[in-house]
Amino acid sequence: MLVTGAAGSIGSVVCSGLMDRGHTVVGLDLTPEPEGFPGEWATADCADPDAVEAVFVAASRAGGLDAVVHLAGTTAEVSLPDEITSHVVTTAALLDAMVSHGVTRIVYASSNHAVGRTPRSELLTVDVRPRPDTFYGVAKVAAEALLSLYVDRYGIDAVSTRIGSFLPQPETVRGLSTWLSHDDAVRMFDAALTAPDPGFAVLYGVSANTRGWWDLRPGRALGYDPQDDAEDFAGQITADAAKDATDATHVGGPYATDAFNRPALDAPLASSSGG
């Protein structure tokens, strides 16, 4: 399989974990091959369709690809055109190459920020309407729509994982609800890659957190059974009454506040990683 963004924080964890589970991985990133990477590597820009096509051609000569895990993309809140390029154009280039080469499954790293403006409720289901909290979230919504189109047009399988706070351990009170552990991330991507005939599916990428308020049933229906719980770290979290109250208002926490309000064509603002 091809894993884009393989040199990133989540990419390095997912590549290693999937290889431990017996998957053959081709890593793809803008950066050169990391020292000691045990699989094949390609250095290319996912927003360049010719470069992506060349990666698929090279992989075909070596036996071909059976799936794509798309993790590449900026984690910052940048201008809307840059977000669209980073998340939607890259997805389009990969999808076109998949269709050309007969690759029928893609697992996409979407984000909770695709529904970040949704008010906090008892249970956040995958049936809520898209309510992005940032241009980053807008691009994730658009990428999910593109995946849905290609599922309907070409009969591929696409699983969109709306990731919460991917960190070694939770760092805030909100994180006790939104945390995705490293081990559960690997379990999630492995399940999304191996679930039979998912069609177009969306799941929430979080661990089995005691304080969780995201519906885990769509993931479990695909075989994702999270094992970790942010509550194990609750004693290490320092409460901040004002911040915690703001973070609890919307799904996207601080990204749904006025601090992120800005024109669509402005320069970069802040990072959305660990969100």
- How far, in Å, CA of 56 to CA of 220, rounded? 31
What distance in Å separates the CA atoms of residue 73 and residue 75, rounded to the nearest whole number?
Answer: 6
- The CA dihedral of 248, 126, 90, 8, to the nearest 10 degrees, is 50
- Rounded CA separation 183/17 (Å): 8
Which two tokens mark 233? 């770290």
DSSP H or E stretch at residue 163:
strand 157-163
Amino acid (1-letter code) at residue 175: G
Kindly name the residue from 136, 150, 204, 255 that is annotated as catalytic: 136
Residue whose structure tokens are 């994180």: 175
Residue 136 annotated as catalytic: yes
For the four alpha carbons of 195, 85, 207 and 189, in that order, the dihedral sign comes to positive
Which residues are known catalytic residues? 136
